[in-house]
Structure formats: structure tokens, C-alpha cells
Structure 1
Amino acid sequence: MASGHPSGNTIARGRPMQTSEQGRAFLEGHEGVALRAYRCPAGKWTIGAGLTAASGVVVPKAGMVITRTEANRLLALALMRNYEPAVGAAMPGAKQHEFDAGVSFHFNTGAIGRATWVKRWRVKAPVSEIRAALGEWRKGGGKVLPGLVLRRAEEFEMLAYGRYAGIDRVATVPVRADGLARFAVPVSEAEIAEIRKGFASLGFDPGTNAHGVLATTAREFQRRYGLTVDGIIGRATLSALQRALDARVKVQAGVVGAGGSAGGVTAARELPEAAPAGLADALSAAPWIEPIILGLGAIWLAWLAWTYRDALAARLDRRFPRIAAKLRSI
């Protein structure tokens, strides 16, 4: 493949090939780097460039703070242990920029051993075929994600031509001149619109500028959710936002299921004609069913409160700061 870089091998001076400094910067530009531990959307404590306890190099905990130097060290260690060996095996004879592209892809997908684009790269297929195959890895949750479309495009540029795009995304710029928070990870206009909508639905004013979110709003959100208060919207802030929105949807569903005003057992007493025959009679004949269902609903809501205790802490922050701080610490 075309490149202005010198040839490289997976073995250099007796050592397995490692991700270059530029390669790590590229990866951090897409993953974001959080120096304070946060919960990912799945609820796992995370720190640095998306490292959880599963990385085997760090066990993030509530309140944990690391330096930028430590974040770099942990990422390099995680790559060496968990990703670089697999990429080296899947891409023998790779030049440095090709290896770096493979590492970024594998870090994001874990699929270096089965991806079609890697097989085509090994047989020196036309670059158009490799680009198309790499571009197929653009979905999350069954949907095409703009962030993944961009990442695959930039990984191809690195793979084919040695161009490292966007490696300055982790540069610290506290506030933009227009008063909007800076995004530390790549986002599209459509994603910004969704982020603004999310902040607004939680009671945080995103401002009138459709191109972003007010830095002051980002700081207030970060303060209430126990994040680093810097007015920069990165992976930690977006994860907290997603968890808060998920918690809201599930709690509302739980209230409905437990017999809230939107439905549940109470509404079941007024079943439509299309309801299964005998269901209304069964509920009337067995009044003990209602407290059982309500009890299960209460247990469900309690489980949700525990699972999303970080979101609950943010809600309690103003009136019960000590309780909020305790919830964030566990």
C-alpha cells in the first residue's frame, strides 16, 4: 500500500512491535482521556482512555484521580498486554502506521482476528476494497454512528497513507471564545443536537447556539455528577449524560409497571374490550395479586435506584449533598 514511511516489521530489535506515540495520540483523540474515574454507560468505573478493571492494568474506583503521565503509562501497558500482540499476529509485516491503524481498530472493536478488511490487507487487495471493508464497522446498537463513520475513515487514512488525523483532540482548551464547551471527542452536528436535547430534558439549559452547549452548563452538570469540572465535554461527561437519560427512561417505565398514573395494576381494572377474556375477573377475584405486583414494582424501582445511584446522587445534590456524596463514593 502507498506510503511515504519506511518499511517496518512486527519485530524490532527483538521486541514485538508497539503502538507509536502518534498512534496512541490518535486513539486518545477518539476515546477521550479522563483523569478522574467515571462510570461508563454500562455502569463500570472507567479512567484514562476508557480503561476499566477488565483492562488488567488498573482498577478504577470512585474518586480516583490520575495524572496525564499515568494515563499515558496505563494506556501503553494495556495496549502491550491486550491489543498489540493480537494485531501483530493478524498483520505480519505491517509498517508502523498500518500497525497503529490496526491497534485503533482492535481497541474499539476487539475484532482484528476476524475482520474482512484485515484479510484483504494481507493479500494486498486494492485499497478501494480495503476501505469498503473497514467502513462496514460503523454500527453500534444496530445503528450507524457518525463517530464510528469518522473513526473508520481516519483509520483508513492512517492505514493506507500514514496520515494521523485529529491527534490534537486531547489538547486542553478550557473555554471557547463563543462561550460554548469544547468537545474532547469527535461529534457530528446531529450528535450535538441530541446532546443539547439530552441536557435540556434533564433541566440543564444548553443555550441558544445550536452548534454546542454552554460551558457554564457543562460545568454545572459535571459538578452535580461528580466529574472533573472543566467545561469540556468528553467521554466522562457524555457517559454521565447517557446514564442520566437511561435512568430517567427506566424509572418512568418502572413507575408505569408498578401501577403509576400512566398504567399498571390500577389501569388493569379498566381493561379495554380487546383484553384477554377473564383477566379483569381474575384480578377482581384475587385481590392479593395487586400488592404482590406493587411489591415487585417497588423492588424494581429500588434496584434501578441502586444501579443508577450516580444519577440519583445528582438529583439529591442540592437538597441532600451529604447523601449525594455518599452515593457517588460507592
Structure 2
Amino acid sequence: MATTSEKGIATLDLLEGVVLKAYRDAVGRWTIGSGLTKASGVIDPKPGMVISRKESDRLTRLALARNYEPAVNKAMPGASQNEFDAGSLFQWNTGAIGRASWVRVWRNQVKDWGLIGSKMRAWNKGGGKVLPGLTRRRQIEFDILRFGIYPVTKPNAPATGLARIVVSIEPARIATIRAAFAKLGYEPGKDPSGISRNAVKTFQRDHDLTVDGVIGKATLSTLQRMIDARAKAAAPAATAVAAGGFEAAPMPDGSIEALSGLPHADWIVPAVLVLALGWAAWRAWQYRDAIAVKAQNRFPQIAAKLRSI
């Protein structure tokens, strides 16, 4: 049975980022190491959990052996080492190597690399939208698959005063990250090529992350989560009700009063309010770590409790 090479694992670490303190990913799942959640079956990350780099590497290899490499061996029999590595990276990210059409084309005796590449690059969407990060990842995987070219795994040294970035990010995304920090009240600095190290450290301190001034998966996931929390908190109550299954058409002035003319109007308004409040409460629970940031200065014990559950 083939296994992922050292270069393949180093690329996985670069793409996923190695985080030694548990954090919530963008959708709220506790995560640690190279993107390991409870679903990995090798660890159950908990609030405050810290592991060593050696342990992270052991868990990554264990997860590969248990959950990913068997599927790659089955789907890509006779793969060369670089081809197997590309398959492992793809499987780690998508879990779909058994049904990916590029794999079926790869299994042909005469390989059509142009078709393989186009079908592989098509796996770049999330929520129905093309994601630049996935577009870049698929290109990296194809370069490994076709040419055996692995990305440079040692990040370049940043300019003085800028945070070091330890995950693979396309340069065009820097502007988006800078805008996100600024929107949350963390001044990213004047240099458009990066983000102020001091701003990153302050953000990490406020959000109970490892305070090292390094931008990795935990910092980026938390940044995205806080942006999402702010956007959803700003949504009008009508939108919240709509998510529960009702149409959220804007209501004209006096429309609440106008409901009083409807049959059984005595229960309509309270029911709508209860639904809106229930939705708001569910959102607050979903983003309780964002509430903890707001509460930590005045209510540190409450903030700590919110982060622990």
C-alpha cells in the first residue's frame, strides 16, 4: 500500500496550516493540527487544548493512514509517488476521490492531461461559488500530479513590522484580509503587501488565539468567523424570520398596525416576534465566541465560559 511522502505531508501542512492550540474553524467546529476535527477520528479537539508539533505530525500521519490513503490506493492503483501525493491532498480536502471524474480520466492507459487538469480544477467551488483559495489549491495538486512540482514549503520572510503568513495565500487575497482586519477595528498598517504584526497580535489576544503575530489557519478562520458574525448580526429581523421559512418582504410604515385588521391578528404579531427573537438567540449561540470578545473586558468570567462551550 502506497503512503504519502514527506514532501506530500509538508505540502499538506502548508496548505492546511499547522495550529497547535484548538480553535473554531469558520463554521464553528473545534479544530487543531493540520485541520483535524472530531470527524477525523484521531482526536477530539476541546477548548484550550494544546498539542506539540511532534504530536500534530503523528496525528496527521495517523489520519492519512486511517481515513485517506486507503481511498487513494483504491482509486489510483499503480500511481507514482507524486501522483499518489496529489491524490492524498485532494482527498484530504474533498473526500471525493472515489467519484471525481478527473480520476477516471487519469486511469486511462493514455492520459489526457489537458482533460485531467480541467476536471481537477473544476473542484474549486464552495457554496456554489468559485473560491480563489480552492482554485490555487487545485493548481498546486495538478502540478504535483502531472509534473512532480511541489510548492516551496518555507514561507518568505515578511517586511519589517508585518505579520508572517504561514499558509498558502495568493497575493490578491491580501487586500481582502487587510479589509477584514480594518472592518473589525484592527488597523492593518500602511503597507499594502501585508498586515501589521501588532494588529495581528492584538486580534489574536482578543480572540484567545496563540499570540505570535503569525497569520495561519486559526487566525484566518477566526477572522472569517468574526466577519460572518458581524454581517449576520447586522441583518434585519425580517431576514431572520425569512431564514425560518417566511418571505422577508420589506414592510411599509405602519404595517405592524395594519396587521390588526387581519383575522386572528392578535396572535400574528406575537408569533412573528417570537420567531425573530428565537432566530436571534440561535444566532447568538452560534457565534458565542464573537460575543465573548465583546464581553471579555467587563465580564471576563462570562467570556471564558462562552469560549469553553
Q: TM-score when scaled to structure 1?
A: 0.84
Aligned: 1:243 with 2:229: no
Secondary structure of the residue aligned to 1:211 is: coil
Secondary structure of the residue aligned to 2:27 is: coil
- Which segment is superposed worse, 141-150 or 73-82? 141-150
Secondary structure of the residue aligned to 2:273 is: helix
Aligned pair in 2 of structure 1 residues 20, 266: CA closer, same or farther (>3 Å)? closer
Give the C-alpha shift of residue 252 in structure 1. 1.9
Q: Quick one: distance in 1 between partners of 2:127 and 2:271? A: 35
Aligned: 1:234 with 2:216: yes
**Any gaps of 5 or more consecutive residues in structure 1?**
1-15, 273-277
Match of 2:146 in 1: 160
Q: Quick one: distance in 1 between partners of 2:250 and 2:177? A: 36
Kept in 1: contact 2:22–2:45 (CA 8 A): yes
Pairing 1:1-330 to 2, within 5 Å after superposition = 16-123=1-108, 124-169=110-155, 176-253=158-235, 255=237, 269-271=253-255, 281-282=261-262, 286-330=265-309
Kept in 2: contact 1:265–1:290 (CA 8 A): no
Q: Quick one: distance in 2 between partners of 1:195 and 1:302? A: 29
Kept in 2: contact 1:34–1:47 (CA 8 A): yes
Aligned residues: 301
Residue identity in the other structure for 2:301: R
1:129-161: per-residue Cα shift (whole Å, max 9, x none)?
222222222222222222222212221221122
Give the C-alpha shift of residue 265 in structure 1. 11
Residue identity in the other structure for 2:125: K
Aligned pair in 2 of structure 1 residues 83, 320: CA closer, same or farther (>3 Å)? same
Q: Quick one: distance in 2 between partners of 1:67 and 1:232? A: 17
Give the C-alpha shift of residue 309 in structure 1. 0.8
Residue identity in the other structure for 2:102: W
Kept in 2: contact 1:254–1:297 (CA 8 A): no
Residue identity in the other structure for 2:113: V
Residue identity in the other structure for 2:308: S
Residue identity in the other structure for 1:136: A
Bigger radius of gyration, 1 or 2?
Answer: 1
Aligned pair in 2 of structure 1 residues 316, 60: CA closer, same or farther (>3 Å)? same
Secondary structure of the residue aligned to 2:22 is: strand
Q: Quick one: distance in 2 between partners of 1:246 and 1:30? A: 22
Kept in 2: contact 1:146–1:187 (CA 8 A): no
Q: Quick one: distance in 2 between partners of 1:241 and 1:177? A: 22
Runs of 4+ in structure 1 over 3 Å off: 254-259, 264-269
Give the C-alpha shift of residue 254 in structure 1. 5.4
Q: Quick one: distance in 2 between partners of 1:266 and 1:130? A: 48
Kept in 1: contact 2:238–2:250 (CA 8 A): no
Q: Percent same amino acid at aligned positions?
A: 52
Give the C-alpha shift of residue 269 in structure 1. 4.9
Kept in 2: contact 1:271–1:280 (CA 8 A): no
**Any gaps of 5 or more consecutive residues in structure 2?**
242-247
Q: Quick one: distance in 1 between partners of 2:65 and 2:112? A: 30
Q: Quick one: distance in 1 between partners of 2:105 and 2:308? A: 48
1:182-204: per-residue Cα shift (whole Å, max 9, x none)?
22212223322221121111111
Q: Quick one: distance in 1 between partners of 2:276 and 2:305? A: 25
Kept in 1: contact 2:259–2:269 (CA 8 A): no
Residue identity in the other structure for 1:148: L
Q: Quick one: distance in 1 between partners of 2:178 and 2:169? A: 12
1:267-315: per-residue Cα shift (whole Å, max 9, x none)?
555349xxxxx857329x7344333332332222222111111111111
Aligned pair in 2 of structure 1 residues 223, 255: CA closer, same or farther (>3 Å)? farther
Give the C-alpha shift of residue 206 in structure 1. 1.4
Residue identity in the other structure for 2:226: A
Give the C-alpha shift of residue 27 in structure 1. 0.9
Kindly report the root-mean-square deviation, in angstroms, between the aligned alpha carbons of the 2 structures. 2.5
